[in-house]
Amino acid sequence: MPLTMAFSRACLQWTVIVFNTLSLIIGILSVVACVYELEKFAEGSAEHMEKIVQLAAACLLVLSSFVGCLGAVNGSVRILCCFITMLIALIVSHIWKLWHYNEQKRMAATEGLITAAWLTELVTPGAMNELQESYECCGEQSSLDYKKLNVKIPLTCYRYQNGLRSVYPYDEGCLVALKRAYLTVYRYERLAHALLVGFESIGILVALLLICKLLTKSRRYNY
C-alpha cells in the first residue's frame, strides 16, 4: 500500500510538471501574440487596453508555470495553493474576456483603423503600403479610390510573382480585407479563451489531487 501511495503521488507530481511545461509554452506564445497585436491599435484605445490585459494574463500564465513546477518538485502545499490561486485568477480573466466579446465593436474599431490610415495616405503617400502589401488589398474601398483622386496606384497594390508584377491591382479594398482577417483572428481568440478555461481547470484539479496526497502523507507521519 505505501508503495502504491508513493507511486500515485509521484505520478501526480510529474503530471503537474508536464502540465506546467505546456503552460509555459502556451504562455510564451501568448505573450508574443499579444505584443504583435498591440501594434495594430492606437495607444489608449479600448482595444489597446484589452490587449494589455491579455498580455498581463499571458505573463501570469508563464509565472504560474514556474510556481506550479516549484510546488510539485518540492511537494509544497503552500506553493501549490498559490499556483491554484493564479489559475483561478486566469480563469476569471478568460471569462471576463468572453463576457465582453463583441464582434460589432471589433469591426467598428477595424474600420476606424483603416479610415485613419487612408486619411494619412492622402496627406502622406505611402501610409497604406504596409497594409496593402500584408493583406493583399488596395485603397480603402478598392483601387478606384486612387483613380478618383488622380493618384498613381502604388506598387504595393500589385501582386508580384517570380519578380514579375501583375497587370491589374488587387480587386479587394483594405477595409473588407482587414475586417475579414481581424474577425477571423478575433474568433480564434474567443475559442482559445474557452479552451484555456478548460485547460486551467484541469490544472487546478490535478494540483488539488496532489495536495490531498501530500496532506494524507503528512497526517500519516503525524500518527
Strand, helix or coil for residue 165: strand
Residues in CB range of 154: below 8 A, 6 or more apart:
125, 126, 128, 129, 132, 146
Which residues belong to CATH 1.10.1450 in the chain?
106-176
Confidence of residue 221 (pLDDT cuts 50, 70, 90): very low
The grid cell for 133 is 502589401
Q: Spell out the residues 6+ positions from residue 182 whose beta carbon is closer than 8 angstroms to its own.
A: 106, 107, 110
Q: What is the mean pLDDT of the chain?
A: 86
Q: Other C-beta atoms within 10 Å of 116: how many?
A: 12
Q: Which long-range contacts (CB under 8 A, 24 or more apart) does 186-189 make?
A: 186/103, 186/106, 187/103, 189/97
> Is residue 159 within 8 Å of residue 170, measured between CB atoms?
yes
How many Å apart are CA 198 and CA 191, to the nearest integer? 11
Flag the least confident range among 50-54, 98-102, 104-108, 144-148: 50-54
Q: Binning pLDDT at 50, 70 and 90, where does residue 72 land?
A: very high
Q: Are the CB atoms for 61 and 23 separated by under 8 Å?
A: yes
Taking phi first (over 0 means left), then psi (-120 to 50 degrees means alpha), and beta for anything else, what does residue 163 get? left
- The CATH topology of domain 106-176 is Cd81 Antigen, Extracellular Domain; Chain: A (1.10.1450)
pLDDT of amino acid 12: 87
Three cell numbers at 153?
A: 496606384
Alpha-helical segments (H) within 39-159: 46-74, 77-99, 103-123, 129-135, 144-148
* pLDDT at site 102: 86
pLDDT tens sequence across 96-130: 888 888 888 888 888 988 999 999 998 898 899 98
- Angle CA 55–199–99, to nearest 5: 60
Residue 44 is predicted with a pLDDT of 64
